[in-house]
């Protein structure tokens, strides 16, 4: 941490220099599947994992877990906000790995404006300037919240800009609702996921560079029907694994079934791999890689 802070304080240009010398790679190599570790949660104020409300708040600990995960042979890259990708660049951890930047971080967890999810992270031109490989946006849709319309409009323009730069864009859509206390919940029923995928697939002037980042439905057997909604390539997301003793194994089993579907091209998983219940990051990453 001392080294990173010294570089940032005295040589801020070192980030751009590290990006310029980073060894890049194609999206796919030997296999046509992807395993990307996600760590864009803190920039939205979402720091909890299971029953630990601030598990992701220790940056040195998070970077250590990320560097370990990125060192495993089955990992293709990382998805993160600008600050974390800058740290990983300075640590030399992104050589020969995909770097995916997160575009919209403005919908802070628990905020009244959560669904007016402003694009406060990477811009498409930032990703191109840094030589990064792809982008990601979160698209939460609540028919009763006007903020969803603003996010839909911004997302469509991001699809256009990324396509203009020939950069893949992972779109993560959810149908949402608020409970009586105002808390936001993602609807993981088959019907809700189908609808959200249909909306996300049609954003922008072309879908040529659009990927979908898809949750496993509450009933995993529904995934075959859900993935019939689109021809766009998709990756599965992980979400919070929960605190139960069997939560991790249940997640692996859900992913294993969905990965058999022809549209599904891999996994983009964060907390389940970086903060497994037994603390074995390498073991969790290796198990996920084995599913591919």
pLDDT (tens digit per residue) in 244-286: 668 888 899 999 999 999 999 999 999 999 999 999 999 999 9
Residue found by looking up tokens 């395993």 in the block: 35
pLDDT (tens digit per residue) in 75-100: 999 999 999 999 999 999 999 999 99
Residue 240 has pLDDT above 90, yes or no: no
The conformation of residue 222, written as its DSSP 8-state character, comes to: G
Q: How far apart (Å, rounded) are the C-alpha atoms in residues 19 and 128?
A: 11
In the structure, what pLDDT confidence band is assigned to residue 51 with cuts at 50, 70 and 90? confident
Q: How far apart (Å, rounded) are the C-alpha atoms in residues 153 and 85?
A: 26
Question: What are the phi and psi torsion angles at 46 (to 5°)?
Answer: -95, 95
Give the pLDDT score at 247. 80
Listed residue (97, 9, 75) closest to 292, CA to CA: 75
Residue 241 has pLDDT above 90, yes or no: no
pLDDT, averaged across the chain:
95
Q: How far apart (Å, rounded) are the C-alpha atoms in residues 11 and 210?
A: 36
Give the pLDDT score at 30. 82
In the structure, what pLDDT confidence band is assigned to residue 50 with cuts at 50, 70 and 90? confident
Residue found by looking up tokens 């579907």 in the block: 261
Listed residue (134, 99, 133, 102) closest to 119, CA to CA: 102
SS3 174: strand
Q: Are strands 34-39 and 98-102 parallel, antiparallel or unpaired?
A: unpaired
SS3 145: coil
Residues shown for the chain:
292
Q: Are 106 and 118 in contact (CB under 8 A)?
A: yes
Region class of 233: left (phi > 0), else alpha (psi between -120 and 50), else beta: beta
pLDDT (tens digit per residue) in 164-213: 999 999 999 999 999 999 899 999 999 999 999 999 999 999 999 999 99
Give the pLDDT score at 34. 98
pLDDT (tens digit per residue) in 120-177: 999 999 999 999 999 999 999 999 999 999 999 999 999 999 999 999 999 999 999 9
């Amino acid at each position: 941490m001392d080294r990173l802070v010294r570089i940032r304080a005295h040589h801020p240009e070192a980030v751009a220099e590290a990006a310029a010398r980073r060894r890049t790679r194609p999206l796919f190599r030997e296999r046509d599947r992807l395993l990307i570790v996600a760590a864009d949660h803190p920039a939205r104020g979402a720091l909890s994992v299971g029953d630990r409300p601030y598990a992701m708040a220790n940056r040195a600990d998070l970077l250590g877990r990320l560097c370990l995960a990125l060192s495993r042979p089955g990992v293709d890259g990382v998805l993160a906000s600008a600050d974390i990708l800058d740290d990983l660049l300075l640590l030399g951890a992104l050589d020969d790995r995909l770097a995916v930047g997160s575009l919209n971080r403005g919908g802070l967890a628990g905020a009244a404006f959560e669904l007016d999810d402003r694009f406060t992270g990477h811009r498409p031109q930032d990703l191109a300037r840094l030589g990064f490989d792809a982008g990601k946006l979160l698209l939460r849709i609540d028919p009763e919240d006007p903020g969803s319309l603003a996010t839909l409009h911004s997302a469509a323009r991001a699809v256009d800009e990324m396509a203009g730069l020939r950069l893949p864009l992972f779109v993560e859509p959810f149908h949402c609702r608020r409970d009586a206390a105002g808390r936001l919940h993602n609807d993981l029923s088959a019907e809700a996921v189908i609808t959200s995928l249909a909306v996300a697939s049609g954003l922008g002037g072309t879908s040529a560079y659009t990927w979908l980042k898809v949750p496993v439905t509450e009933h995993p057997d529904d995934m075959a029907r859900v993935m019939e909604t689109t021809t766009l390539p998709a990756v599965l997301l992980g979400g919070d694994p929960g605190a139960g003793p069997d939560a991790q194994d249940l997640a692996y089993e859900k992913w294993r079934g969905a990965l058999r579907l022809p549209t599904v091209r891999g996994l983009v998983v964060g907390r389940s791999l970086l903060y497994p219940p037994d603390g074995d990051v390498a073991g969790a990453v290796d198990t996920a890689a084995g599913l591919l």
